[in-house]
Amino acid sequence: MTHPNRALEDQDEPALLRDQFRQLLRYRALLATGVAIGLLGGGYLALSGEDTYTATGEVQVRSATADPFATGAAADKGINIGSERQTAVSDTVGTLAAGTLLKAGDDVTARSLLTGLQVTNPPNTLTLRFAYTGATPEQARARAEALAQAYLAHRRARTEESIENMSDGYRAQLDPLEEKRDLLEEQTGLNAADDVSSARANIIVAISELTRKISELKALDTTPGYLNRKPVAPTSPTGPGLPLLLGLGGVVGLALGLLLSWVRLVFDPAVRSTRELVHSLGAPLLGTLPRERGAAGALLAIGRGGSRLAEEYRAVAFRLAYDPAFAGSRRLLVTAPRDDNATAAAAAANLAAAFAEMGRDVLLVEADLRTPSLARRLGSAAHEVRPPRWAAGEGDGSWPTGARSNVDVPGSGAFALVAGAPAENVPRALTSPSVGRIVAEADRPGAVVIVLAPPVLSYADAVALVDRVAGVMIVCDPREVHRSDLERIREIIGASGGSVLGALLHPSRGRLRRGERTPKSARLRASGPGDGRPAPAPGAPAPTGDPTETLGLRTVTVPAARR
């Protein structure tokens, strides 16, 4: 048969990620705080910021050319669009645009004007996109258009200046040639030699070439570009609106909440996952008790139909029954780490009932002699019986040789109970020979002895019993127990000669009380005056009509006036 206690897969990456994510979700308050901060920040940015408007214009850049319709290589291929973009955001263009706007009544400096300008170049195009962000739609439109026109004017002036400089250079070469030509013409009239005529002809050719170049420069089309899309006044503000800012704030807030949860998780001394519990305790996880709100006062879940809690107790008993460490001795010590031992008592009683269902002869020993409560909580389900002959002959009627009880489990049989009783010397009572003889009853075929001990870290009672009951089950709330507590429990039990068989997890008792508050108040309203049923006697539990009424005894607080 496959061993029921499976080891956790340390190399299961998806399981590790899911486990870590579940750990972060434990801190819902921090997550909610982060989301709230993000939403408040997004709302503040949306409501406190001033509206801005963006107008966009597009300019197509071109080079000066003599024939714009000529085929072949285009002159525009020589344009460095990156340099043109830098020129568009230069101080020179800003100064020209500021002068134009000043004439229209918009007094703004070039540096302030350029702060709202953004020039971009769409890929694989010779187009510059002028986007200006202003306080009003008209301001954005006017300034975007002024900047685009200033760029075109600056580029035209730069092209015309280049043409004028080249023309002046050609004229500087042309003037000496014309003087030499005139001199040679005078010599030609006096029957000059052939070499004079040849020199004159060469000069005339040079003059013609320079004149042609000057004419070509003057014929160039100096149009710097075209304003393909004229800026228009925007009709709505730019930037993210309130819904988008709230959404972004929520996302950022969630990320902040996850970060806070992660920091809290790193410094949290509590057990963060099942893996950490198994690693700290050095024992497998036997089960996790579900939350069940329908049985507020009943201790025994075994015997109650449709109970998921009973199913889990049966599963834990089955795992223990086929655990070699438990099957060899059939002794089990049930305890909690610290503080309240009520859940450990419920676990011990239900495990005893589950083993009784499996046909075992079960003896439940309540070794909590400081605050015994098991018999009171079982109530009418426990019936007192005569103790064994050896107990009647050896003992003086004190614990554990006093009276025994049989606890009836509806439809599941019964188990024996040695209820706890206050003792003057608890350590001596726990280490008495009578306790050893009671625990030795597990040596009988088919017998199981379950011992309920006080919290192991609060008292040394559990340690005193480990040498007799070597197998220990820890019942704890993973949200309250610390990793250091589990490591200390493992060391204490190991040093005492015992071993931890496993851990049984239960939900927080505070959560259960909150969940049970509504059903309890509903029952009180239903049993109020006028419902036709007799009022219960003082100090007695109110009947609810539950068929499992005999399985538990409710705790009734008697008013001070009746005490």
Model pLDDT, residue 545: 38
Q: Are residues 45 and 57 in the same domain?
A: no
Distance from the Cα of residue 153 to its chain's centroid: 56
Both tokens of 450, joined, read: 């379950």
Model pLDDT, residue 501: 92
Residues of the chain above pLDDT 90, percent: 24
Q: Are residues 278 and 321 in the same domain?
A: yes
Model pLDDT, residue 164: 87
Model pLDDT, residue 557: 40
pLDDT, one tens digit per residue, over 139-196 is 999 999 999 999 999 998 988 888 888 888 888 888 888 888 877 777 665 555 666 6
Q: Taking residues 37-57, report their average pLDDT.
A: 86
| CB of 336 closer than 8 Å to CB of 524 | no
Model pLDDT, residue 312: 92
Flag the least confident range among 193-202, 349-358, 468-477: 193-202
Start-to-end CA span in the chain (Å): 58
Distance CA 127, CA 490 (A): 75
Write the single-letter amino acid at 77.
K
Ramachandran quadrant class, 306 (left: phi over 0; alpha: psi -120 to 50; beta: rest): left
Q: Are residues 296 and 420 in the same domain?
A: yes
pLDDT, one tens digit per residue, over 506-531 is 887 554 444 444 444 434 343 443 33
User: Residue 322's closest CA among 284, 353, 288?
Assistant: 284
Distance CA 129, CA 134 (A): 16
Both tokens of 203, joined, read: 């000069």
Q: Are residues 206 and 245 in the same domain?
A: no
Q: Taking residues 224-249, report their average pLDDT.
A: 86
Let me know if 485 is exposed, middle or buried by CB neighbors in 10 A (0-12, 13-18, 19+). Answer: buried
* Placement of tokens 């020039």 in the chain: 119
User: Residue 19's closest CA among 285, 291, 276, 287?
Assistant: 276
Secondary element (H or E) of residue 57: strand 53-61
| CB of 33 closer than 8 Å to CB of 257 | yes
Distance CA 22, CA 59 (A): 56
Secondary element (H or E) of residue 147: helix 137-188
CB neighbourhood size of 513 (10 A):
11
Q: Are residues 288 and 432 in the same domain?
A: yes
pLDDT, one tens digit per residue, over 329-381 is 889 999 999 877 888 999 999 999 999 998 899 999 988 888 888 888 888 77
Secondary element (H or E) of residue 327: helix 324-327
Q: Are residues 200 and 314 in the same domain?
A: no
User: Residue 57's closest CA among 132, 124, 135?
Assistant: 132
Beta bridge partners of 418: 365
pLDDT at 37 over 90: yes
Model pLDDT, residue 541: 42
pLDDT, one tens digit per residue, over 420-438 is 888 888 888 888 888 888 8
DSSP annotation of 161: H
Model pLDDT, residue 393: 53
Beta bridge partners of 475: 504
Identify the band that residue 17 occupies on the pLDDT scale cut at 50, 70 and 90: confident
pTM: 0.56
DSSP annotation of 60: E
Flag the least confident range among 129-143, 492-506, 514-528: 514-528
Highest mean pLDDT: which of 14-23, 110-119, 553-562? 110-119
Q: Let me know if residue 84 belongs to a domain.
A: yes
pLDDT at 254 over 90: yes
Q: Let me know if residue 2 belongs to a domain.
A: no
Which of 166, 200, 229 terminates a domain? The answer is 229
Q: Let me know if residue 191 belongs to a domain.
A: yes
pLDDT at 411 over 80: no
Q: Let me know if residue 549 belongs to a domain.
A: no
| CB of 59 closer than 8 Å to CB of 152 | yes
Beta bridge partners of 134: 53
Q: Let me know if residue 420 belongs to a domain.
A: yes
pLDDT at 231 over 80: yes
Question: What phi and psi, each to the nearest 5 degrees, are found at residue 404?
Answer: -110, 165
Model pLDDT, residue 543: 41
Model pLDDT, residue 90: 92
* Pairing status of strand 471-476 against strand 499-505: parallel
CATH assignment at residue 393: 3.40.50.300
Q: Let me know if residue 533 belongs to a domain.
A: no
Q: Are residues 449 and 312 in the same domain?
A: yes
Q: Taking residues 197-208, report their average pLDDT.
A: 81
Ramachandran quadrant class, 239 (left: phi over 0; alpha: psi -120 to 50; beta: rest): left
Identify the band that residue 250 occupies on the pLDDT scale cut at 50, 70 and 90: very high
Q: Taking residues 273-293, report their average pLDDT.
A: 85
Beta bridge partners of 500: 472
Write the single-letter amino acid at 188.
T
Q: Are residues 80 and 31 in the same domain?
A: no
Model pLDDT, residue 48: 78
Q: Let me know if residue 97 belongs to a domain.
A: yes
How many structural domains comprise the chain?
A: 3
Model pLDDT, residue 333: 92
The residue segments making up the domain with residue 171 are: 53-67+76-229
Q: Are residues 245 and 319 in the same domain?
A: no
Q: Are residues 147 and 247 in the same domain?
A: no
Secondary element (H or E) of residue 332: strand 331-335
Buried b (16+ CB within 10 A) or exposed e, 486-501: beebbebbeebebbbb
Q: Are residues 184 and 299 in the same domain?
A: no
Q: Let me know if residue 40 belongs to a domain.
A: yes
| CB of 405 closer than 8 Å to CB of 387 | no
Model pLDDT, residue 518: 41
Find the largest Cα–Cα distance for the chain.
169
Model pLDDT, residue 294: 57
pLDDT, one tens digit per residue, over 435-459 is 888 888 888 888 999 999 889 888 8
Both tokens of 249, joined, read: 């704030």
Identify the band that residue 68 occupies on the pLDDT scale cut at 50, 70 and 90: low
Q: Are residues 418 and 489 in the same domain?
A: yes
